[in-house]
Each structure stands twice: as structure tokens, then as C-alpha cells.
Structure 1
Amino acid sequence: MKLNPYLYFNGDCKAAFTFYEKCLNGTNLVLMTHAGTPAEATTAPEWLDKIIHARLTVGDVLLMGSDAPTEHFKTPQGFSVTLGFDDPAEAERVYNALLEKGVATMPLAETFWAKKFGMLIDQFGTPWMINCENRPA
């Protein structure tokens, strides 16, 4: 079994996934719009270029998402997408990259359980936790 996050966006899924591809060194980015799919016939013209499904490979995990129609979109809450790192320098790089135009909710720092841990909400409203755990010797 694999557990893969699926994120909803308020019309900016394409920008978000392009940003995540850069920040997370993602690969195999797929951005599928409503245009050209069976949903096209029932989709409003202004929504045809919005993302019906996005997929990005990050390590051995898929990050997926789509644009939610405005009347169905809700601001993300009650969860964080957590990224685990072995290298504190890479944890810091990704934290700072995701923080661009975002808000730090807990600055990246050493904790009693981690070499580096921090929390942020990115410019698209997605909450993230960055964790580089201490490993027992």
C-alpha cells in the first residue's frame, strides 16, 4: 500500500505544482486540464484550462492534486504535508524554497527529536512540516 497526498487548489494548481516540482526536485510532472477530457462537454469555458488532475513524483511518493471549483474549495486545515529528510542541509533548502511568499508557522530549528524541524504555509495555502529526525547511534 502507498499513501499519497491529494491537494485541492482554488484555481492555481498549475502554478503550485510547477513550484513544487522546483522546490522538491520532483520529476514526471503531469498537468491535465479539463479541455480534451470527457469532462470538457460539461465544463464552463473559463474553467477548461484549470487542472482536473496533477501528479508529481517526489522520491518514491506521488503528490497529486487538482483545482476545485470555487464553490467547493475550502482552505486547507487540520493536516500538514510532512517531508522527512536525512540531511539537515536538504531539509533547510526545501524549507526555505517552500517558504517563498509563504508564512513560517514554526521556524526551522533543532528540537529535542530532530536535527531540523519547521512548519510553514506556502504561497498556495498548503501547510507543510519539514522534519530531519535525530537517528539513534
Structure 2
Amino acid sequence: MNRFRAVWPIVDETIPFPDLCREANAEIPRLAAQARAHLTRVGRFLIAPSDLVPGSGRVTAWSLVYEAPATPVRRSTITATSERERTYATNDHRACPRCGIVRDARPASLCNDCEPLARAENAHEAAA
């Protein structure tokens, strides 16, 4: 199963969690479209230390993370407008099996963001 993940830095820590989620929820359809992901179910929000969130940029101490199951959008449905996008859409790019982000990757390999998370999950499951 593929996953879609979006990350926002939490700049103002006084804003309540439901308000942060409401603000971020408005951006999810646009971000999923940019990532060429079709969300298959409703996801979940969580707050995590930025040091532990790949892709957070560690700009702030905490990050708001949204994860949801998703499927990659087929390349044939992508309308490429620029030369770079046409080249990208026709090259052999693959979706990360964990998050679904389309990247220049080997078949069945995780992206650089998901690889450390998967290793940590496997270590946690092995320790349990």
C-alpha cells in the first residue's frame, strides 16, 4: 500500500491542534495533486518532533504530519506542460511503495524519506 505524507512546520505553538488540522486540511487536495497521489481513505494528523520527521527541514521544533493511504496517479493521465514535465512523465520513474511519491528510484525501493522510518518500524517490531 502506498502512503501520501504532507508536513507543515508548527510556527505558533499556541494554536490548538484542531485548528492546525483544519488549516492544513484545506491544502491536502492541492498537495496530493502535486504529488500525483489519489487518496483512497481519510488519513490522520499527528504532531511530531521535527528531528524525527523526514522532509520537515527541521525549521521548527515541532511539525504537523498528515498521512493517508493513496495510489499513484497514472502517468498517462498527467498533462505535461513544460519540457521538463514531459521528460519526467515519460522517463522510468517509480512510486515509493510506502508513501507513493513518484521519484527517480529503483523498482520496489523506498524513497530517501521513508527508508529510515521503515528501518525504525522494523526495529521496533523486532524488539516487541
Q: Would you call these one fold, judging by a TM-score over 0.5?
A: no
Higher helix share: 2
| Structure in which a larger fraction of residues adopt strand | 1
TM-score normalised to the size of structure 2?
A: 0.29
TM-score normalized by structure 1?
0.27
